[in-house]
Structure 1
């Protein structure tokens, strides 16, 4: 980035950032590209004083920061400049430091759009209502006929429902049990929850055979194939898992960080290695 040539540090900010795969993905790639950048995990709990986080990101050695749960909405609000996708979703997973200002982007939206494609969705069941769910809604705003939203936090579900309706979507909220039942007939199920992180977790929709045209989008990536993805594959359904999402959203960062196009191939190779090591 020409405007910030002195910067060398990139962060991942989140409540469990130190357990994430991103530093292990990005650091070998950044080294192979010949940059002096270093990608670091920064654990920032939900109750952490975020004014201090913003101040740190504006220091001269910082290039950018990825943002994960539970701070994606904070990132959108703290930015000096926001992309249209961030404005629509109210969430950001990438803050770039340029000339003493923070610019917010949302590469989660780009990733969902790429992986789901542009096909019409007759019924989307959104399980989870945080920043990842917001990204999926924006990506799907012009192709979803009907959306059902559920979260174990009623306030979060209500906020996501308001966003869906503001985007012009025909949307409703449902109890967790009802949403799981509706998922059995949905054309797209989005898992924007941690369900699947544990090896003994079942599919996010519970039990039952899904519609023959269903697409399963599971944000979770782990050292095992999640039960949701395993069930989808057993039924022969199209699906995208957390590893697919990680690759697609990382690839979307390449032009935003002014990295060379060759970074995409390096990211794919590194991610395949990490996935193989994790699931062996």
Structure 2
């Protein structure tokens, strides 16, 4: 990767150049009068990460967002980690501090912000990757029963162990059984790509949900996902991938020491991107 002058932020991931973050952050940094740049850096799955680690420690680097499939690597590569990173084993935000990297997880912050306080009597977690793990960490100490399901039983097993280590009353379930359980759950989390296509139905199927259910859908797409549309039709509380992006970006502001006006600027810019998508 060629170096250019000036302080830099990166987005590191296997498909970073196709992600929205540069289009979100670059205009905001410019409006703030910052000389920082925000650049995508495609790092394919299976890459040797020594070069990435070394580059992030160079003097012109401020920080890097990290997306799939490198969140676990980011947590392990850091010299210092937050408590939530330690619990989750994943980081989506690395900040350079001299010759050290500090690992944060603003996904967890975003989930906590959007769900608010209160106890969730039964959580159905559909999907078992990094997003699901972030949701579990955000929910620690505030859940009753947790049902974990994924098309990949090994992934579900790994997430189940995370839940058990957090002291949750959790069990893994077959996909169809978990969809059926969602009917009575108080929180349904879609941590899968289901909904990316406008042809996808609700992640839990076609059944009606409990009246106190909250639907948290990590998917952001040009259309309203069927899961969110169905939740709204039923008058339920919900949060979609656009809400998550907003709160995840807002959580970066104090870590980076940006001016408070960065928050409204990010929200306005995200609304523009959503309208154009």
Fold shared, TM-score > 0.5 on shorter chain: yes
The residue that corresponds to 1:65 in the other structure is: 64
Structure 1 CA distance for aligned equivalents of residues 234 and 98 of structure 2: 51
Residues 32-67 of structure 1, C-alpha deviations (whole Å, 9 max, x = no match)? 011111111122222121222212211222111111
Equivalent-residue separation in structure 2 for 1:203 and 1:122 (angstroms):
21
Q: Which runs of 4+ in 1 moved over 3 A?
A: none
What residue is the counterpart of 1:117 in the other structure?
Answer: 116
Residue of structure 1 equivalent to 2:24:
25
Q: What SS does structure 2 have at the residue aligned with 1:41?
A: strand
- Asked if residue 87 in structure 1 is aligned to residue 105 in structure 2, the reply is no
In the alignment, structure 1 segments of 5+ residues that lack a partner are 1-5
- Please give the alpha-carbon distance, in whole angstroms, between the structure 1 residues aligned to 2:55 and 2:174: 40
Matched residue pairs, number?
273
Q: Mapping of 1:94-173 within 5 angstroms?
A: 94-173=93-172
- Tell me the distance in 2 between the aligned counterparts of 1:7 and 1:95: 18
Q: Structure 1 length normalisation: TM-score?
A: 0.95
Deviation of 1:212 (Å): 0.8
Separation (CA, whole Å) in 1 of partners of 2:186 and 2:128: 19
| 1:106-137 alpha-carbon deviations (Å, 9 max, x no partner) | 11111111101112101001111111111110
User: What does the per-residue CA deviation read over 1:192-225, in whole Å, with 9 as the maximum and x for residues that have no partner?
Assistant: 1111111111111122111111100011111111
Aligned to 1:39: 38
Aligned to 1:176: 175
Which range moves more in the overlay, 7-16 or 156-165? 7-16
Q: What is the alpha-carbon distance in structure 2 between the residues aligned to residue 44 and residue 198 of structure 1?
A: 25
- Alignment TM-score, normalising by the size of structure 2: 0.96
Secondary structure at 1:102 match in 2? strand
Question: Please, which runs of 5 or more residues in structure 2 have no aligned partner?
Answer: none
Please report how far the alpha carbon of residue 7 of structure 1 lies from its aligned counterpart in structure 2 after TM superposition: 5.9
Secondary structure of 2:40 counterpart: strand
Match of 1:3 in 2: none
What corresponds to 2:219 in structure 1? 220
Shift of 1:172: 0.3
**Partners of 1:243 and 1:150 in 2: CA distance:** 24
In 2, are the aligned partners of 1:124 and 1:187 still within 8 Å (CA)? yes
Equivalent residue, structure 2, for 1:10: 9
**Whole-angstrom distance in 1 between the partners of 2:171 and 2:62:** 40
Q: What secondary structure is seen at the aligned counterpart in 1 of 2:205?
A: coil
> Which digits, 9 at most, give the CA deviation of each residue in 1:80-131, with x for residues without a partner?
1001110111111100011011100011111111101112101001111111
CA displacement at 1:264 relative to structure 2? 0.4
- Alpha carbons 2:145, 2:170 under 8 Å: kept: yes
